[in-house]
Structure 1
């Protein structure tokens, strides 16, 4: 017996239960990577157990037996999340309760609870991902849950799955206009409108500290960090050497990690940031629009250097004295903002200040050979002919020459660095990724008593040929240095460019070795085809981000302006939405009346005959056929009602006639001319 025959032979209850189990598994599957391992295994085991019971026709477990996995689920949630409140703990619990509820699915009331939990779990997937793929998967889940709900309301017979799926699809299509109207017009009032986020787990992107080696890990991640649309005639970006998107700036080094310098009074510049940061810009600005992916951090990524606030809806922004732009809350969803940057700029004090001393500090007992190298360079008359004078620029150039000519290489796999990272880079390994190079360079600069710091962010990107947007990936993460020079302020120095000029000049990226799956796909698809498919998918995904995820209140108000509102507000949104709901209700009422008119006209005509006879005192059962009704009419009213009895007999024959339309209109007109018995006085 084939599997299809076996499924067809199963009882109706078992078949519906197996279908519902498949739908629940589909709803839970996208959360496997965010659920604790034990929760995924326990939920999967419970669903398999329930499926085995339905397949074998075995009885469901008792409540005492179910108490064991329930206690394990609650205990595991408390142990893993240290609470049963919050997003992550709540999702874990709801998934476990859904799996457990399937094991006590005995009555329709239990089924309704399962459907409620299923719809809620389906929505909880969007707490972790709002991608187009997740939306498509949850649309399939919605149709599955609706089909299971239709099955639950069809207790008689054995309706085929195709029929229930058609009914579910029709329900979804009928509700789609209402859902679209609610999406477009329901007021988005922060902070109520947004995705909850109670942890920093699972973030991808730059970090708040820099440990030598962590940016190399980002280079293995090819996911999109942001997309940029440049406001130029052809959408072309600035020169490659200017594409530095500024992120966290690190000025404190403990020998192992780089940290931002502690915030001081005046560091956060909310008004006149250009003046307080000693920022001077020259020339025409580069105007662009950024769509930034969620990274769970409060920083914005902008090209160096932005002198004015970026325009971002619903968030306040400020700039620090090291030119980093921050928001008033973490970026937990895709955001879009417009900005202006000046590639030609200078910033920082032009003369030494006490604050600059913090950028020359180094931890004791670290990198002694680098300190000795610095002393040697200061005493070298070819580099510093007059030690009494400021030779900072000459020392910087000498360090860059050493990188160019000293046999240093740019690699993703330099090996594990030990305690003295700068010493190992300069003298032993002579190989590293951008943060190895930048960190070692800044340590050397500080040993030379030159103020220096590390800037992290993204450098470069590539243009999507489908939509023309400039795509910056996590693999474009980069670290560079800034040194302070008297009379010039802070100056960008990218030591990686000295080791590998192609990294910043021609956007030559180091690529991680391909896995077995990627290598196998490479034998099936040509590189050009794979690149085109990827560009198409990313363009579609970007459209989803722009038009769905980034549909903010400002765009809602723009919609009202297009409809004729001069100064729309959220109250106007509510009013328009209310009118649409009233219109939808009236349309639904009209549809209901029309649908009622489309019901079986033969039954409606028979019901009218029954009502006429009831007014004459002859009350007949609704299940009585026309022939039996004719017999009752003749028995009670005699010969005067013979025409009515004959009409009823002809109505019954019409029901089974091969071409009923030929007599239908005649019988319907005759109904009003029949000698119906007079209405009873009682």
Structure 2
């Protein structure tokens, strides 16, 4: 095959000058670390940065001249002006990241000298770190490790000034540098004090993520079934006790009580702060929970938590408190993965046991809404009494209608625009997702004079066979009802279980239709293998959240306790950090000395002779061969020193023959006699260091 065969693009790349090749590599690395920013940057910033990088790549490819200062100044003015117009400031997280990204892209158009490259490198490192402002997930970390290695490779390559070294050689050097720095990085991660609020990633975007909110329009919760991302992970820690039954895995979120015909809304915060009047029985279920960032204030805990859940000291959410609807609320939104330890009582009741004026709010319905449903309620009411037994009979009658009335559980019921949403479900469509069913049931119960409200949250979950954690996803979002019964208080009633028993008891979930790629994967790999791979990945991701993202000050102090510190503090962390870094420095020093190249016996003996000749005034640098030293000795030393010069020059010539003689030569001297001859030569009287006459 001809040497010049292959892709014309590869041939053209190989023929480029070194500075063009290095520039293209640096632009590729810059594009890689900028890629995750696309979803957070304004659209114009992504387009502008991409255009600048492509422009610079074209200039490097064609060897054209870089733009002048006026063009760069104009582009900078446009970038600053657009940043100001978008964010109304040039400081802060989002505006700052936008501006730094623009500066990085613009600086690539000034790559004329190594100094410019250094600026690009450090801007690249800063942009790389800014990706963690928005996500600290394991995929983001892995992508940024690749970006880090790319920047280090480019940095090493920039300092290899001679020739045209291959990038693989620079990558190898960068990998060794990263490997040497890894122990220091681990020591800093483990022992550098994490003192809130100085420690943490800023998060000033308070838009919700989880999909659960303080209002629910009938038909909107169904969209969460399309979101398969993790909402929380839970591990049950009760010794000798299995996980609760499937029917008891209700994770409580917002409680909705105000209904306008189309949507349900939560009570005002002032009304929600009353006492919940919680009564529990039986043994509690203890567990640890990792809550993903929802940017909301509620803790979706397993019903029902009586005692305050334990949150790591210094967590950004502040203290917690219980609302009247059994919700546990934090002072500030959850913007990072939050570790919570709590204990729940699955056998509980709450709320007043006797009718109170406050219960009237849970009977309100919009005037003139859902007349057919209210008529159905009057019919059922006429068949039952008004006491607690009658209330139970009303609930049973409504649930029986759901079981036998031809109602179906579906993911795509649609959003009902009319205010008669309950009439549509009971008499027209007869299909719905959990919030359709819960809303229609609540309207029916209120029409019969029974206080009812809707609770949203999560129901069920999936146990990971790899690490034992239960995974609850956004697709497990659920809506159920609570009905007030005299002498019992608020009682959970899940009408979805009457329409689709598998949804509550067997963790059967509706899922969105698979896309083309997902369908192809299923045909190529069996479902059990995919499920196992998913379990392994989620277990790894859970460990990342546990030991990296959620490595808080409390965990640092727990680590010190495990190392023998009785009452650890941040000063102990600093001392341990200093000791660790000192130990690493000593280990590195010992290793460098142990691996330092050692001279062989001939080189050591010759080095000793050179030093002695240098002191005697004869130039004997490493570039002077042994034969040259012999000639210099005979030339410089005469008279009384002539015998010594003769013996020393003979010794030097024998040293040369020993070094360069063929291995099979029998005339080559051995090193041991030469060492003994050198000792004898050293004992003789050597001339002083003076300039002898030629």
TM-score normalized by the length of structure 2? 0.88
In structure 2, the partner of 1:285 is: 284
Per mean C-alpha deviation after superposition, the further-off stretch among 114-123 and 454-463 is: 114-123
Asked whether the equivalents of residues 411 and 431 of structure 1 are also in contact (C-alpha less than 8 Å), the reply is yes
1:148 equivalenced with 2:154 (yes/no): yes
The CA distance in 1 between the partners of 2:520 and 2:159, in whole Å, is 48
Quickly say closer, same or farther: Cα 1:406–1:612, change in 2 above 3 A.
Answer: same
The CA distance in 1 between the partners of 2:408 and 2:124, in whole Å, is 54
Asked whether the equivalents of residues 218 and 415 of structure 2 are also in contact (C-alpha less than 8 Å), the reply is no
Mapping of residues 127-276 of structure 1, within 5 Å = 127-201=133-207, 203-232=209-238, 236-264=242-270, 267-268=272-273, 276=275
Selected match of 1:343 from 341, 346, 371: 346
Quickly say closer, same or farther: Cα 1:118–1:409, change in 2 above 3 A.
Answer: same
Asked whether the equivalents of residues 206 and 333 of structure 2 are also in contact (C-alpha less than 8 Å), the reply is no
Structure 1, gaps ≥5 residues long: 270-275
CA drift at 1:379: 5.5
Per mean C-alpha deviation after superposition, the further-off stretch among 346-355 and 589-598 is: 589-598
Quickly say closer, same or farther: Cα 1:213–1:540, change in 2 above 3 A.
Answer: same
The CA distance in 2 between the partners of 1:569 and 1:279, in whole Å, is 38
What's the CA shift string for 1:213-261, capped at 9, x where partnerless? 3321111011111122123568742111111011111222344432221
The CA distance in 1 between the partners of 2:270 and 2:286, in whole Å, is 31
Matched residue SS, 2:226: coil
In structure 2, the partner of 1:547 is: 547
Quickly say closer, same or farther: Cα 1:614–1:300, change in 2 above 3 A.
Answer: same
The CA distance in 2 between the partners of 1:205 and 1:635, in whole Å, is 94
Quickly say closer, same or farther: Cα 1:649–1:555, change in 2 above 3 A.
Answer: farther
The CA distance in 2 between the partners of 1:658 and 1:101, in whole Å, is 59
Quickly say closer, same or farther: Cα 1:207–1:648, change in 2 above 3 A.
Answer: farther
CA drift at 1:573: 0.8
In structure 1, the partner of 2:322 is: 319
Matched residue SS, 2:374: helix
Quickly say closer, same or farther: Cα 1:597–1:285, change in 2 above 3 A.
Answer: same
Asked whether the equivalents of residues 375 and 448 of structure 1 are also in contact (C-alpha less than 8 Å), the reply is no
Asked whether the equivalents of residues 247 and 457 of structure 1 are also in contact (C-alpha less than 8 Å), the reply is yes
CA drift at 1:59: 2.0
In structure 2, the partner of 1:273 is: none
CA drift at 1:78: 2.8
In structure 2, the partner of 1:272 is: none
The CA distance in 1 between the partners of 2:499 and 2:460, in whole Å, is 17
1:37 equivalenced with 2:67 (yes/no): no
In structure 1, the partner of 2:335 is: 332
Asked whether the equivalents of residues 371 and 444 of structure 1 are also in contact (C-alpha less than 8 Å), the reply is no
The CA distance in 1 between the partners of 2:35 and 2:338, in whole Å, is 27
Matched residue SS, 1:547: helix
Q: CA RMSD in A?
A: 3.1
TM-score normalized by the length of structure 1? 0.89
In structure 1, the partner of 2:466 is: 466
In structure 2, the partner of 1:529 is: 529
Quickly say closer, same or farther: Cα 1:410–1:611, change in 2 above 3 A.
Answer: same
Quickly say closer, same or farther: Cα 1:641–1:594, change in 2 above 3 A.
Answer: farther
What's the CA shift string for 1:612-655, capped at 9, x where partnerless? 55544556777666666665555555546566666666667777
The CA distance in 1 between the partners of 2:92 and 2:343, in whole Å, is 39
1:513 equivalenced with 2:522 (yes/no): no
Mapping of residues 385-396 of structure 1, within 5 Å = 391-396=390-395
Quickly say closer, same or farther: Cα 1:336–1:97, change in 2 above 3 A.
Answer: same
Asked whether the equivalents of residues 452 and 483 of structure 1 are also in contact (C-alpha less than 8 Å), the reply is yes
In structure 2, the partner of 1:83 is: 89
In structure 2, the partner of 1:299 is: 298
Quickly say closer, same or farther: Cα 1:650–1:105, change in 2 above 3 A.
Answer: farther
Asked whether the equivalents of residues 235 and 468 of structure 1 are also in contact (C-alpha less than 8 Å), the reply is no
What's the CA shift string for 1:275-327, capped at 9, x where partnerless? x3211101111122212222222221211111112222124221111111122
Quickly say closer, same or farther: Cα 1:401–1:337, change in 2 above 3 A.
Answer: same
The CA distance in 2 between the partners of 1:410 and 1:177, in whole Å, is 55
Asked whether the equivalents of residues 615 and 680 of structure 1 are also in contact (C-alpha less than 8 Å), the reply is no
Per mean C-alpha deviation after superposition, the further-off stretch among 395-404 and 590-599 is: 590-599
The CA distance in 1 between the partners of 2:48 and 2:600, in whole Å, is 51
The CA distance in 2 between the partners of 1:96 and 1:82, in whole Å, is 16
Selected match of 1:102 from 94, 103, 108: 108
Selected match of 1:111 from 110, 117, 126: 117
Per mean C-alpha deviation after superposition, the further-off stretch among 227-236 and 278-287 is: 227-236
The CA distance in 2 between the partners of 1:663 and 1:42, in whole Å, is 73
CA drift at 1:578: 0.9
The CA distance in 2 between the partners of 1:242 and 1:189, in whole Å, is 38
Matched residue SS, 2:484: strand
In structure 1, the partner of 2:358 is: 355
Larger Rg: 2
Matched residue SS, 1:312: coil
Asked whether the equivalents of residues 209 and 250 of structure 1 are also in contact (C-alpha less than 8 Å), the reply is yes
Matched residue SS, 1:359: helix
CA drift at 1:572: 0.5
Structure 2, gaps ≥5 residues long: none
In structure 2, the partner of 1:397 is: 396
Asked whether the equivalents of residues 317 and 327 of structure 1 are also in contact (C-alpha less than 8 Å), the reply is yes
CA drift at 1:87: 2.2
What's the CA shift string for 1:178-231, capped at 9, x where partnerless? 111111111111122222111034723422322223321111011111122123
Quickly say closer, same or farther: Cα 1:64–1:618, change in 2 above 3 A.
Answer: farther
